[in-house]
Structure 1
Amino acid sequence: MFPEAHETTIDGVPAFWTEIDESPQVTMTFGVGMRDEPPSLSGVTHLLEHLLFSSMEPSPLLANGATGPSVLRLTASGTPSELVDFVHAVTRAVRTLDALPGAEVDREKRVLEAETTDHYAQPACTLLAHRFGYAGIGKSSGGTVALPLLTLDDVVSWAGTHLTRDNLVLSFVGPPPEGIEIYLPSGVPAPRPVETDSVGVPTVVPSERHHLAFSIVTTPAMASHVACVLDHEILGDLRQRDGLIYSTDTYLTDIDEGRTALDVHLDPLPEQTIPALERLLAVLHRMRDDGVSREAVEYSLRSLRDASADRASCGHQLLRELAHSHVLGVPAHTPRAAAAMAQAVTPAAVTEALRGALGGLLIAVDDKQTVPETVTGPNGLAVRSLDLWIDSGAERPGPGAVRWRARRRGALPGFRLALDANCLWLSARGLEQRVPLDTLAFASHRGDGWIGLLDHDGRSAGIDMTDFRRGRDILDELAKRLPVGLVRATPHP
């Protein structure tokens, strides 16, 4: 039997609880995540999570936090009185963040940089950014480019806007203990904008990450079944039959109430990347053209039944879904609802969902591998460039442009850089390129001379100011022409 959910309010804050055979637990779910951060503050929610726990140390509780694309979750297990103390400790930490020493902030930033290095090395972590751009849900997979530049003031301001009683849901394993008071200010964050999918036709994009990954978008109701069917068919062909991969990793990300992104990471050896891509496309096209097999759908339904048999896991999923539904304003996909909808899952239904999703297929391939036209052409794949600089053609910098010449003994002898009201220009003999300023999402400088540029599609490039005469002026001139807050820098050394 599925665990039952109970709803109440605690000091005016909505709360849910359920009974499962585990120790008492509390989770504080705030409706803020990586998708809410502007590029100039990327990483601020995760840094906030770490600093909250730093403020509470030492804690006697088994406690942890998780920053996701859409929510921040703070969880602790213990006795009922310890759960009360934990909630009060969190709210006290929010109110006293501005008292943290700068050394603590710097230490946690270093911890986060080490923690996220491996996570963002996977190709699937770039797919949302390629699909939705470096904003909203896309930014949640594009890395934390602003993390080294974040200040305590940034964190305090972010917490004041998003860690409010109106943006919070409490969840409990076991009945809520008495005595909890929520010492947080009121306030409702601005609504999230609609996410725009930029992939209108099947597309392949080179990736600076390793291996091979692909992404589709389907409905929340069908996402887990499509994922299981893909896992069954891909492993059956690419691993068991052809030996091209060892495993697949699947990531589901809710975009809004009607869309879920399904990203799949495959692990071929470098020399097997293109053969694995060809075989993957053959499998996807077979499923599209011939339909999904009944065997694959039965595999999905068995997986759902096996998951439903774990009452404790279902209880935690139930609480997560109810909390997310409340703070995000989306339907709750509870275990009971999923089991009920499974009655309508047939090979025809999964095939229809997959066919609709494959029109927006996005594939990321290790950029050290060249995808030949013999693969892209017959499979109808468009090819997207990762190059931020575009050819200027006959266009040249406009009147009043600021210009810099490369140092003769630098890394770019003979190069020239120019900046006018609309573009950043780079030229040399036989080379004329530009970056339109209105495509830039972020420009950063960490004090080492390197200016990092990132556009709204997640493409990046850089300029070393030390390569140019008067190069220190480049960042200042960019700041004059770009919107306030888009340029972030440490002080010049």
Structure 2
Amino acid sequence: MTRQHTVIDGVDVYWEQGPAPMIATLTFGCGVRDESFRTLGVTHLIEHLAMSTLPRLHHEHNATVGIEVTRFFATGRPAQLVDFIAAVCEALSDLPLSRIEKEAGVLTAEGSAVCHPTAGVLLARRYGIAGPGLAPWDGPGYDQLPAEAVTTHAAKFFTRGNAVLTLTGPPPEGLRLPLPDGPRMVHEPTPSLLTDGPQWLAEEVPCIGMSLRGPSVSPVDALGLQVLSHRLTEVARKEKGLSYGIDGDRANADPSTTDRFVWVDAREGQEAEVASILWNTARELATSGPTQEELDHELAGFREMVEDPRFVDGDLDEFARSVLLGEPYRSPAEWLEAIAAATPAHVAAALAESLRTALIVVPSEVRLELSDLDGKPVPLGGCATPEWQPQGRVFKPSLLARAMSAAARGARLHLTADGVALIDGGDRHFVRFADVVGVLAQNGSRTVFGRSGCLVPVDSDLFAGIEPVIAAVDAHVDPGLVFPPSAFAS
């Protein structure tokens, strides 16, 4: 049966017949990328506030917040789904703001993330503290979100125009979607802060990972990542016994561009070896391409997946994304056709192109020596610090700090006409006042977070006589971006 469309209470409703029990998914074109550093977590808080109003239910139901969309979904009898959808919409129309403090504590205890932590770090390095790059950050904390930020965000994004309901069956009798009025949102693209070719990063991550930037809907690119994951399983896990889990995901910076991820865990002490296997396996695929047997295997697997009657719900989710976010959409039949037409040369060419955008990340203590497709060394990258030469007034660590720490002896804090900078050994971090996204104010100190992903600690325990720096930060930064430490901070 083909996909059907209707409009109920101003909300687009799409349905296609799937197996019982019925699944209903209310999707909003809103996720973490629509927040700011100062309001990080507000979408998740809204989701929790809405779900907290539901009575005890005896059917499967839940909600998730991702980078690009938020979903409320349930499985059950049609009458149960009617009640669930109506209750969620009514709660979003009149959020129980008195529960903010309690739900902030619940969310802190939950400690969930919108993506794998390794993927989050890769996004933050590519995009800085904005859009998808917000994914790994905690922000000020759930208890630092004012009620006004909650109501403003809900009124902007959780509206009938910015929602799509999908059903694995015809709309049940009595279905209502009493959401507030509002338009479908247009999401501004988040530009990449990196312009050079492949880089590797040493960060606080749980495992090795790689991101590749390319077209948002590209069966050939997706096919290349599938073959890469299969080869990594064969080499890193089965042949060498260095790894257990290989997985991946994606995140879209705009309707036409996506980051595709693959991450690989490693036995302790073998991280550099596994990272080399990841990179060299990808290089080999980009040079020689997969075998026809590998492509045939992936085609058979995809055909088996889409022929499963339960696939209807997943396809409806993808279609809802395309409607809300303006992303290209291909039907399962179109994906099958494109995968069947892909040749080893097509996959190699697509992978070679995307490898020029590659970011590889390893745990902070690991060091790598990698070569790109042209045989040149892959450089060590970092945060995209704006161009800056040491200048302005210089502040050194106190005598006590220098006596206690060799690292402190080389640290220097600079106050310039337009920002603050830190030289810490070989690392340089510079945040212009115009690019500040948040300032943590604590015990006479400030931590300044910059759009590029840099942060500069203006620490009174480390640097002597920094009152002029604190005064400059307070004078130049919007007071709305300044926040105290979270009461839940460890």
Question: Quick one: which of 335, 338, 344 aligns to 1:338?
Answer: 335
Moved more, 288-297 or 350-359: 288-297
How many angstroms does 1:190 deviate by?
A: 5.0
1:275 to 260, 267, 273: 273
Q: Report deviation, 1:115.
A: 2.7
TM-score where L is the length of structure 2: 0.86
What's 1:329 paired with?
Answer: 326
Name the structure 1 match of 2:49: 51
3-state SS in 2 of match to 1:311: coil
What is the alpha-carbon distance in structure 2 between the residues aligned to residue 17 and residue 374 of structure 1? 49
Which stretch of the first structure deviates more once superposed, 327-336 or 66-75?
Answer: 327-336
Question: What residue number does 2:197 align with?
Answer: 201
CA contact (8 A) 1:65 1:72 kept: yes
- Take 1:234 and 1:431, find their aligned partners in 2: how far apart are those partners? 34
SS class of match (2:393): coil
Query: With structure 1 as the length reference, what TM-score do the two structures score?
Result: 0.85
What are the equivalent positions in structure 2 for 1:437-448 lying under 5 Å apart?
A: 437-438=432-433, 440-445=435-440, 447=442
Asked if residue 454 in structure 1 is aligned to residue 449 in structure 2, the reply is: yes
Tell me whether 1:247 sits opposite 2:241 in the alignment.
no
Partner of 1:347: 344
> Are 1:47 and 1:108, in contact at CA under 8 Å, matched by a contact in 2?
no
Q: Could you say which residue in structure 1 is the equivalent of 2:378?
A: 381
Aligned counterparts of 1:293 and 1:353: Cα–Cα separation in 2 = 15
- 1:408 deviates by 5.3
1:266: which partner in 2? 264
Q: Is the 8 A contact 2:244 2:266 kept in 1?
A: yes
C-alpha separation between the residues in 2 aligned to 1:284 and 1:432?
30
Asked whether the equivalents of residues 124 and 136 of structure 2 are also in contact (C-alpha less than 8 Å), the reply is yes
Q: Secondary structure at the match of 1:165?
A: coil
Alignment of 1:18-167 (within 5 A): 18-112=16-110, 114-116=111-113, 122-139=117-134, 141-148=135-142, 149-167=144-162
In structure 1, the residue corresponding to 2:348 is in which secondary structure?
helix
What CA distance in whole angstroms lies between the structure 2 residues aligned with 1:262 and 1:486?
Answer: 32
Distance 2:262 2:109 in 1: 28
Whole-angstrom CA distance in 1 between matches of 2:241 and 2:169: 48
1:435–1:175 distance in 2 versus 1, CA, 3 Å: same
Report which stretch shifted further, 155-164 or 364-373.
364-373
Task: Quote the offset at 1:296 in angstroms.
Answer: 2.1
1:182 match: 177
User: What's the offset of the Cα at 1:471?
Assistant: 6.9
Percentage identity across aligned positions?
25
The one-letter amino acid paired with 2:73 is: T
Residue 211 (structure 1) aligned with residue 207 (structure 2): yes
Residue 182 of structure 1 aligns to a residue whose secondary structure is coil
Matched letter for residue 315 of structure 1: V
Residue 226 of structure 1 deviates from its aligned partner by 1.6
Deviation at 1:470, TM superposition (A): 7.9
The answer to whether the 8 A contact 1:28-1:170 is kept is yes
State the partner residue of 2:392: 396
Contact (CA 8 Å) 1:203, 1:361: kept in 2 or not? yes
Matched-pair contact (CA < 8 Å) for 2:255–2:325: no
Match of 1:7 in 2: 5
Q: Is the 8 A contact 1:247 1:267 kept in 2?
A: yes
Superposed CA RMSD in Å reads 3.4
Instruction: Give 1:70's aligned amino acid.
Output: E
SS for the counterpart of 1:169 is: strand
SS of aligned partner of 1:97 = coil
Give the secondary structure class of the aligned counterpart of 1:382: coil
State the Cα deviation string for residues 160-186 of structure 1 (Å, max 9, x = none): 111011101111122111223332222
Counterpart selection for 1:192 from 187, 193, 200: 187
Q: In structure 2, what is the Cα distance between the partners aligned to 1:156 and 1:133?
A: 26
Cα drift, residue 71 of structure 1: 0.7
Give the Å deviation of 1:364.
0.6
Contact 2:16–2:170 under 8 Å retained in 1: yes
| CA distance in 1 between partners of 2:265 and 2:57 (Å) | 40
Q: Is the 8 A contact 1:121 1:210 kept in 2?
A: no
Q: Which residue of 1 aligns with 2:231?
A: 233
Please tell me whether the aligned partners of residues 26 and 172 of structure 1 are also in contact (alpha carbons under 8 angstroms).
yes
Task: Provide the residue aligned with 1:256 in structure 2.
Answer: 254
Does structure 1 conserve the Cα–Cα contact (< 8 Å) formed by 2:64 and 2:72? yes
* Alpha-carbon distance in 1 for matches of 2:371, 2:434: 32
How far off is 1:28 after superposition?
Answer: 0.8
| 1:192-241 deviation digits (Å, cap 9, x = unpaired) | 22232324301111111133111112332223312211112222233333
Task: Return the alpha-carbon distance in structure 2 between the equivalents of residues 455 and 423 of structure 1.
Answer: 10
Give the aligned residue type for 1:69: I
How many equivalent pairs are there? 479
CA–CA distance in 1 between the matches of 2:455 and 2:61? 37
Q: Per-residue deviation at 1:453?
A: 3.4
Does the CA-based 8 Å contact 1:10-1:181 persist in structure 2?
yes
Contact 1:28 1:75 in 2 (8 A): yes
Q: Which amino acid aligns with 1:337?
A: E
Where does the alignment leave 5 or more consecutive residues of structure 2 unmatched? none
Q: Deviations over 1:334-356 (max 9, x none)?
A: 32321232232221221121111
Kept in 1: contact 2:189–2:253 (CA 8 A): no
Residues in 1 aligned to 2:380 and 2:38: alpha-carbon distance in whole angstroms: 29
Q: Is 1:319 paired with 2:313? A: no
